[in-house]
Structure 1
Amino acid sequence: MKGIWVLNIRRRKPLIFICVAAMFVASWLFIAKEHVSVFSTSEGPQAFYRANDAKQSIALTFNISWGEKRVAPIVKLLQDHDVEHATFFLLASWAEKYPDLVEVIQEAGYQIGSHGYRYKDYTMLDDEEVIRDMRRSKEVLQQLTDTAPTLLRPPNGAFTKQTLALADEQSFDVVHWSVNSYDYKNPGTEAIIENTLSHTQAGDVLLFHASDSVKQTEQALPTILTALKKQGYTFVTIHTLMDGSSADSEIVE
């Protein structure tokens, strides 16, 4: 069993950091600024997954770990729908192989975070292996973008309290998600749309993918983006959701 620490953000309360340990079983955890991190507290570092009272703001995030066919079309689709802000979490070994696609993302003005260097579950590695992977991912992405990434989404979205501590040492904020489109399962366009629209609320972090194995995201996104805009949502960066917020904690089971 692994202790998982996650944060829920509430703007109206004073800066009170309350840490609650949650017991969770699974190798797949679907809970998911220049430092100093606002999520490093006296009780230990925390992971961000959503913001409360966010005034209709939400964050689109995309994981990329392999393949070259989906990235540019998805970036273009976002631009065609006037989406100014999104965050792409890149596997750094993938980024090394496809620097031109990293450039496509960066030139579109979208934020780039780390998805690790190798696609290895951090909860299955020892501390030194995790540190090496985090450091290597940061080095590669900084070389490619001229900017050191400060956001980290661990491979598989899997992490423990120790993972959070190691990430904090490397000046990373761990970012999970609160709405999972389950697009990686290729469940059908309508299912991806339903998975997203039926659960999204202000402050949510939405999870999608742009790897070649995920075949239906591009078809689902136009309907999703149009519907979310009609509902009054604004797409912002992860940092915008984080900034200016105090923290509550919440058990994820």
Structure 2
Amino acid sequence: MTFYTWKAEKIKKYGLVIILALFCAILLWVGQRSQLPVFSNKGEPRALSQGSEDTPYVALTFDISWGSEKVYDILKKLKAYDAHATFFVSGEWAERHPEILEAIQKGNHEVGMLGYRYESYLEQKPAEVDADLRHAKEAFDKLGYENIKWIRPPHGHFDKTVLNQIEKEGLQTVQWSINPRDWENPGTNKIINQVLEKSSKGDIILLHASDSVKQTSNALDVIIPGLKQKGLKFVSITELANGGKAKTTQVN
């Protein structure tokens, strides 16, 4: 009788250990999942449009498809204010300006892509979009940027088909939540007001660093300190996405 009692207690003891181990494993899995952005819903791909509102993060993003002068002014401002950003550049531009791409990376900024030719994917056939995506990946791979995972479709144009094509290439689509339309050069103060009045935790701010923008660099002199005064921290898209539950946009 003693033997069976000892055996039952032993089974109970090890059973409890196994249950606790499974519980810890589940907690670890849930914790890891909570740090990953959810970009699909029932198999439907989505675009990252905003980070978590629970963390004081904001992402400055700059699109570049042509020109080589204004980007240096912007890089200087980011360095002066100790602000990190993500630059989305076209493959064609990257091939022409590898030295600028290197300067962006040396500034501890993240690099994303705008496709290769920077032509709207909604105005191209699916086969042409596939070719552009592959061409872009090849261009960045040759330049030594094999791990790029973020893409902002040219002009921000996409639909469900485009999102599926992007996902098949192992990339994630990034949109934005704040757009002061700086490429129109509406006035430095207007750009500043649009960003400071509307920005809050988790926002992705769309700006440009092509030579067409004339006021963005000066606007940063107020935008960056202003956002810092609101308690916001500048992070890359990767850091923003991993900082909590991200918001996404689904195309119906």
TM-score, L = length of structure 1 = 0.81
Aligned counterpart, 1:141: 140
Shift of 1:104: 0.8
CA distance in 2, matches of 1:139, 1:39: 24
1:220 aligns with 2:214: no
Rate the CA distance shift 1:138–1:37 in 2: closer, same or farther, 3 A: farther
Between structure 1 and structure 2, the one with the greater Rg is: 2
Rate the CA distance shift 1:248–1:91 in 2: closer, same or farther, 3 A: closer
Aligned counterpart, 1:60: 60
Q: What secondary structure sits across from 1:113 in the alignment?
A: strand
Shift of 1:167: 0.3
Which has the higher mean CA deviation after the structures are superposed, 104-113 or 238-247?
238-247
CA distance in 2, matches of 1:252, 1:167: 14
Aligned counterpart, 2:75: 75
CA-to-partner distance for each residue in 1:65-100, whole Å, 9 max, x for gaps? 0001111121111011011x2100001101111111
Alignment of 1:233-252 (within 5 A): 233-243=232-242, 245-246=244-245
CA distance in 1, matches of 2:218, 2:249: 34
Shift of 1:56: 1.4
- Tell me which amino acid in the other structure corresponds to 1:54: D
Length, aligned pairs only: 219
CA distance in 1, matches of 2:251, 2:218: 31
CA-to-partner distance for each residue in 1:141-199, whole Å, 9 max, x for gaps? 12223333110001100000111000000011000000002100000100110111111
Give the conservation status (yes or no) of the 8 Å contact 1:138–1:148.
no
Shift of 1:244: 5.7
Which has the higher mean CA deviation after the structures are superposed, 45-54 or 125-134?
45-54
Aligned counterpart, 1:106: 105
Aligned counterpart, 1:128: 127
- Tell me which amino acid in the other structure corresponds to 2:73: P
CA distance in 2, matches of 1:242, 1:38: 9
Aligned counterpart, 1:24: none
Question: Which structure 1 residue ranges, 5 or more long, are not aligned?
Answer: 1-13, 16-35
CA distance in 1, matches of 2:231, 2:169: 37
CA-to-partner distance for each residue in 1:191-237, whole Å, 9 max, x for gaps? 11011111101000001000001111011011000111111100111
Alignment of 1:11-90 (within 5 A): 38-83=38-83, 85-90=84-89
Aligned counterpart, 1:205: 204
Give the conservation status (yes or no) of the 8 Å contact 1:182–1:195.
no
Aligned counterpart, 1:154: 153
Rate the CA distance shift 1:251–1:98 in 2: closer, same or farther, 3 A: closer
Q: What secondary structure sits across from 1:180 in the alignment?
A: coil
Give the conservation status (yes or no) of the 8 Å contact 2:37–2:241.
no
- Tell me which amino acid in the other structure corresponds to 1:50: Q
Name the structure with the higher strand share.
1
Shift of 1:247: 5.8
CA distance in 2, matches of 1:69, 1:198: 29
- Tell me which amino acid in the other structure corresponds to 2:82: D
Aligned counterpart, 2:118: 119
Which has the higher mean CA deviation after the structures are superposed, 141-150 or 72-81?
141-150
CA-to-partner distance for each residue in 1:85-129, whole Å, 9 max, x for gaps? 210000110111111111110111110001010121001111110
Rate the CA distance shift 1:244–1:37 in 2: closer, same or farther, 3 A: closer
Give the conservation status (yes or no) of the 8 Å contact 1:54–1:241.
no
CA distance in 2, matches of 1:251, 1:90: 24
CA distance in 2, matches of 1:238, 1:140: 21
CA distance in 2, matches of 1:135, 1:160: 19
Give the conservation status (yes or no) of the 8 Å contact 1:102–1:144.
no
